[in-house]
Structure 1
Amino acid sequence: MEQQQFLVDELDKKIEMFRHNSKSHKTLHRRLRYGSFGLTAMLSLLSGLALYLPAYSTHLNVAILVFSGTAGILASLEGLRKADELWIHERTTYYTLCDLRRELMFQIKSQTLKAAELELFFERLQKVLNNSAEKWNTGIVQGRQGDIVPAE
């Protein structure tokens, strides 16, 4: 019974962690993306105004430079953080853990699980977490490093 409770608690902790992290990365991704959209729209508007109001073109051109720089920073942050990839990766792992928990709870409700059966569920939990860490490391972290071109 103690092993069973430990397994359920571990699953619950990991599910909550991946839920929270995926929500944070989703929010970050959307903020960066919407910020980029907004800045691009402002740049178009300011460029049009600079042509339409030549008397204010100096001030508008300065504003265009500021907005362009800010848009560049947002684009760089979006590329560095890869919030969209992290969000999808964490959400996929979250749903896999939820499926595992649902299956475990079904088995618990239908019968008393033996230690060997609990061990199988624990091994599956470990496999999901290890695969997630490996995918994160090889696909996302090393993908970032692969984007860096060494100086010649």
Structure 2
Amino acid sequence: MLLFIPVFFGGCGDRVRLDVPLMPRESLSDEEKIAFILNDVWLGMESRRIYKVLAHVSPGYRDKEGRDYAAVQEYLSEIFKEYSDVKITRMRPLIAVHGDRARALETFGTIARPKDPRRAAPLNLQGQVYVYFERVGGAWKIVEWSPLL
């Protein structure tokens, strides 16, 4: 399912903190606002704070596998129940904005330890995903995550 929200947005190699302001301002470009959102989602995934992640997901979310906002919420709840010590590395995303739509290519690596090794295997995943955005009411929201590329 969403392959760990492609698996917790991260990147291969060293852990990278992006130079993104703590609070988006009106003076930020759309690319900077989207980078802020992706960084906030990453922090939400590592801290296992479901609503920090969901705050950036559109209520109209729908991916190619038919999942909606409620399915994303359920998936994250299950993941956070099963895994602890989530570590994510990520590269600077490649962001393209076209009017009220945008696409970001995230390159990531994720390692997570299961709470109960008898129920779940350790996670070690690397790859890329596209994250699609729409501007809704003046704010950028995630409307789809692609499958792992």
TM range (shorter): under 0.3
Rg larger for: 1
More helix by share: 1
More strand by share: 2
Normalised by the length of structure 1, the TM-score is 0.27
Normalised by the length of structure 2, the TM-score is 0.28
